Chain A
Amino acid sequence: KNEVEQSPQNLTAQEGEFITINCSYSVGISALHWLQQHPGGGIVSLFMLSSGKKKHGRLIATINIQEKHSSLHITASHPRDSAVYICAVGRGSQGNLIFGKGTKLSVKP
């Protein structure tokens, strides 16, 4: 079993829909990261969180440490949100990251 599991693997939505991507992990972590990878390959860090909730524009990330679960929400989705969203957990003070397999999101106009 992978240490970091994401669901769903693929997600298609209509423009304007509210989107949720889930991440569960089975190891102790120091922080959880949400990353975005666009076609063409570049990776951008969206959030790093160790507790509670963070918001940036239309993106919201939450984490429940007790349940070892995090969610990434996108409000009012737009075709430019189409990308692969990757959950990664960090171990140790700065340590390495263990990555989920990613969720491929496609937002149709």
Chain B
Amino acid sequence: DAGVIQSPRHEVTEMGQEVTLRCKPISGHDYLFWYRQTMMRGLELLIYFNNNVPIDDSGMPEDRFSAKMPNASFSTLKIQPSEPRDSAVYFCASKATAPGTIIYFGEGSWLTVV
């Protein structure tokens, strides 16, 4: 398997623009997580899905952020409108349900909002 695939790897956008980050989890994994990493706050969970259903979105900073998982092989994280404080690395990760299984991270999407 190719692992968790994220796109784009890097994005630079202007404040106010819409940003869409994409993720393809590992086939067969039931859980998908979106995390954000900043220097100030480290890694934080934004939202996670189980079997394509959002389970916990309490980490989503505000209404400008939204996430969808229309099917088992694809998820998006959208920021509209983007602000400079959204600049961060956004990681997607997936995990199987079986006990004791580890979580697999994508390479991350490096977002800069200017």
Main secondary structure of the interface of B (DSSP, over half): strand
A96 with B105: CB separation less than 8 A: no
* B89–A96 touching, CB < 8 Å: no
Interface size grouping (class) on chain A: 10 to 19
Q: Per a CB cutoff under 8 Å, which of B44, B50, B56, B105 touches A45? A: B105
| Contact-size category for B | 20 to 34
CB 8 Å contact bits of B74-112 with A (1 = contact, 0 = none): 000000000000000101010101001111110110100
The contact sample of 18 A-B pairs, CB cut-off 8 A, is A35-B105, A42-B105, A43-B93, A43-B105, A47-B102, A48-B101, A48-B103, A88-B43, A94-B50, A94-B97, A96-B45, A96-B48, A97-B33, A97-B35, A97-B45, A97-B103, A100-B42, A101-B42
Which B residues have a C-beta under 8 Å from some C-beta of A? Answer: 31, 33, 35, 42-45, 48, 50, 56, 59, 89, 91, 93, 95, 97, 100-105, 107-108, 110
